[in-house]
């Protein structure tokens, strides 16, 4: 109860700050909000003597961004996550929130050094030759540039007592050192408790909002931030992405320095590249911008569909280009995963739209169980056609895969499709990636860039070789079942014998009921056993042919 009161107090404080920035009920919609809300907003905007003035001017999204910055890290992350949910905040607000920058004032370099020494067990001067002031500061962590100092390996110690030799493997050169903000975990936990309280109240009192699953939405925020606050997880994500994409053309991931990485400290190779949004510098380097735009789209789709593990924060600030045109991704705090079923669903959906086969797309939704079978497939296919045809009946520069996915998720609301968080994250990332590609080449054809990746996936997953592989796996699985069948029958016989030996006794009335049931079912039971036996024999015969 006391915790709920504290949550309400936190939410009231947040509401007041939003109101002071004129971001809770903006004056632009004065005529659309209730009179009571107007009075509450006016009262909340009154500045107390000890409070600093706030900038309540500019466009609504500018005011909202400033308010979220003032509220702190957890609200910045909340705003960024809301940008992925146009079904909650609307298309226009979601588009505006995507511009929300995750920037915070840096914390003192002395605190960063203290955190490094505490977490790594060695002083900064032992680990690094140089260590810069913060070069970037966000809501959860900040980044410093450093030059590594060679570290000795204990296993290289000599028997004569001489110091162990320094090893050179991944032990020299410039690195980026990311350090968590002091006390960030505790600050987030307090705000998340308030978010969960608000989400539970919304689900309890608002029937229409239950479909949006606000509690699950807050849980997504909690899960993602928990992962971001363990920098070993981010290091592992970079390592896994590098392993998955090691031979992808024109793309690479910086190397992690595991010796200087811990829960609160991440050390990774420093990359000197051209920011992908610096068009003039890219042109000066004589790089092929349309080719680079294609590579951005194809790299993302390969990660999502082929590997089921993708960089979910591929905005322009997290992409660099080396002089030879190699694309480099940085900042692996937000990653997405798709299981086999989700990958197949997304690939077949996109491919179906590409081929304008709306019945196939409808079948994919129904077969995945995303749309209840109480709805008609033909009606759903017709709704899909209403999405696809207007998009494809435009020039290349107007065709948007991200817009298609957004409209798809909006349309599925009519057909009671529950939101799939992993697909929403994919759609959000697609919006960002598509924007990066269009900035490089305003006439970029998203679908033509995606076609080779989609066709490759369809061939690998649904072609003859894939079917033979699946049949082989089924055969192995059936073989295991058949091999274990004699053992299973033997154990069943032993169990039945042991039950008889131990003299299990039944109530007379229970025995009579079981006997009558056995008499009625014995014939159908024997028939069922014969059907199973014949089916197994038929399957085995088909595999041998």
Average pLDDT, stretch 152-181?
A: 63
227-248 pLDDT, tens digit per residue, is 788 999 999 999 999 999 999 9
- Domain contains 367: yes
Residues 253 and 280 in one domain: no
Pseudo-torsion of CA 436, 310, 399, 248, nearest 10°?
80
Looking at residue 169, what is its pLDDT? Answer: 46
Give every CB contact of residue 528 below 8 A, 6+ residues apart in sequence.
none
Residues 449 and 523 in one domain: no
By CB neighbour count within 10 A (0-12 exposed, 13-18 middle, 19+ buried), where does 1 fall? exposed
Strand segments, DSSP code E, in 245-326 are 251-252, 265-269, 274-275, 309-311, 319-321
Domain interval for residue 442: 272-462
Looking at 171-175, 277-281, 299-303, 389-393, which range is the least confident one?
A: 389-393
* Residues annotated as part of the active site: 313
131-147 pLDDT, tens digit per residue, is 999 999 988 899 999 99
Looking at residue 281, what is its pLDDT? Answer: 95
Residues 289 and 254 in one domain: no
- Domain contains 174: yes
Residues 471 and 369 in one domain: no
Residues 150 and 263 in one domain: yes
Last residue of a domain, one of 270, 301, 325: 270
Residues 215 and 285 in one domain: no
Last residue of a domain, one of 270, 303, 331: 270
Asked if 103 and 138 count as a contact pair (C-beta separation under 8 A), the reply is yes
DSSP 306: I
Residues 416 and 483 in one domain: no
64-77 pLDDT, tens digit per residue, is 878 887 887 888 88
pLDDT higher at 497 or 371: 371
Domain count, the chain: 4
Looking at 29-38, 48-57, 378-387, which range is the least confident one?
A: 29-38
Residues 55 and 138 in one domain: no
Q: How does residue 267 score in pLDDT terms, banded at 50, 70 and 90? A: very high
Looking at residue 69, what is its pLDDT? Answer: 78
The rounded mean pLDDT for the chain is 77
Asked if 330 and 271 count as a contact pair (C-beta separation under 8 A), the reply is yes
- Domain contains 499: no
* Residue in 327, 334, 354, 329 with CA at minimum distance from that of residue 440: 327
- Domain contains 500: no
Looking at residue 499, what is its pLDDT? Answer: 45
Residues 139 and 229 in one domain: yes
Residues 278 and 173 in one domain: no
Looking at residue 148, what is its pLDDT? Answer: 95
The span from the CA of 251 to the CA of 299, in Å, is 8
Residues 80 and 136 in one domain: no
pTM of the model: 0.70
Would the pLDDT of 355 be above 70? yes
pLDDT higher at 79 or 280: 280
Residues 345 and 424 in one domain: yes
Q: How does residue 12 score in pLDDT terms, banded at 50, 70 and 90? A: confident
Last residue of a domain, one of 209, 242, 270: 270
- Domain contains 372: yes
Looking at residue 489, what is its pLDDT? Answer: 56
Looking at residue 274, what is its pLDDT? Answer: 95
Would the pLDDT of 383 be above 50? yes
The span from the CA of 400 to the CA of 430, in Å, is 10
Can you give 169-230 as a three-state secondary structure string?
CCCCCEEEEEEECCCHHHHHHHHHHHHHHHHHHHHHHCHHHHCCCHHHHHHHHHHHHHHHCC
Q: How does residue 47 score in pLDDT terms, banded at 50, 70 and 90? A: low
């Amino acid at each position: 109860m006391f915790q709920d009161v504290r949550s309400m107090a936190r939410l009231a404080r947040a509401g007041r700050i939003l109101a002071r920035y004129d971001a809770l009920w903006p004056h632009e919609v004065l005529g659309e909000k209730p009179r009571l809300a107007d009075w509450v907003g006016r009262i909340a905007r009154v500045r107390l003597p000890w409070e600093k003035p706030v900038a309540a001017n500019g466009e609504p999204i500018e005011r909202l961004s400033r308010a979220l910055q003032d509220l702190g890290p957890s609200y910045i992350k909340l705003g960024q996550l809301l940008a992925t949910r146009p079904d909650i905040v609307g298309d226009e607000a979601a588009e505006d929130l995507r511009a929300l920058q995750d920037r915070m004032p840096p914390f003192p370099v002395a605190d960063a050094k203290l955190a490094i020494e505490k977490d790594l067990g060695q002083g900064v001067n032992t680990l690094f030759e140089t260590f810069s002031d913060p070069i970037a500061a966000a809501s959860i962590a900040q980044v410093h540039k450093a030059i590594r100092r060679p570290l000795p390996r204990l296993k290289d110690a000599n028997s004569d007592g001489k110091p162990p030799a320094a090893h050179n493997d991944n032990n020299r050169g410039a690195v980026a050192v990311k350090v968590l903000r002091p006390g960030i975990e505790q600050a987030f936990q307090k705000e998340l408790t308030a978010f969960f309280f608000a989400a539970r109240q919304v689900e309890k009192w608002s029937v229409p909002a239950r479909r949006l699953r606000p509690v699950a939405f807050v849980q997504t925020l909690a899960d993602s931030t928990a992962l971001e606050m363990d920098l070993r997880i981010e290091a592992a994500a970079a390592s896994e992405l590098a392993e998955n994409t090691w031979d992808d053309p024109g793309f690479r991931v910086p190397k992690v320095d595991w010796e200087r990485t811990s829960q609160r400290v991440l050390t990774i190779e420093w990359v000197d590249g051209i920011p992908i949004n610096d068009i003039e510098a890219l042109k000066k380097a004589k790089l092929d911008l349309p080719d680079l735009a294609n590579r951005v789209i194809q790299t993302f789709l390969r990660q999502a569909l082929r590997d089921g593990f993708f960089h979910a924060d591929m905005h322009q600030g997290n992409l660099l280009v080396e002089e030879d045109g190699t694309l480099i991704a940085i900042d692996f705090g937000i990653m997405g995963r798709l299981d086999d079923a989700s990958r197949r669903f997304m690939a077949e959906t996109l491919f179906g739209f590409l081929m304008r086969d709306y019945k196939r797309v409808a079948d994919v939704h129904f077969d995945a169980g995303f749309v209840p079978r109480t709805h008609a497939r033909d009606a759903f296919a017709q709704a899909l056609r209403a999405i696809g045809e207007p998009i494809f009946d435009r020039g290349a520069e107007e065709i948007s895969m991200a817009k298609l996915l957004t409209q798809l998720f909006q349309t599925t609301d009519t057909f009671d499709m529950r939101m799939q968080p992993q697909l929403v994250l994919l759609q959000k990332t697609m919006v960002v990636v598509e924007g990066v590609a269009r900035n490089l080449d305003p006439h970029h054809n998203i679908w033509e860039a995606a076609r080779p990746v989609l066709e490759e996936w369809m061939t690998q997953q649904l072609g003859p070789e894939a079917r033979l592989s699946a049949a082989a796996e089924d055969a192995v699985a059936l073989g295991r079942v058949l091999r274990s069948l004699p053992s299973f029958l033997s154990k069943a016989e032993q169990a039945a014998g042991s039950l008889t030996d131990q003299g299990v006794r039944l109530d007379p009335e229970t025995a009579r009921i079981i006997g009558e049931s056995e008499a009625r079912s014995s014939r159908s039971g024997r028939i069922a056993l014969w059907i199973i036996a014949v089916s197994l024999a038929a399957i085995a015969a088909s595999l041998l042919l």
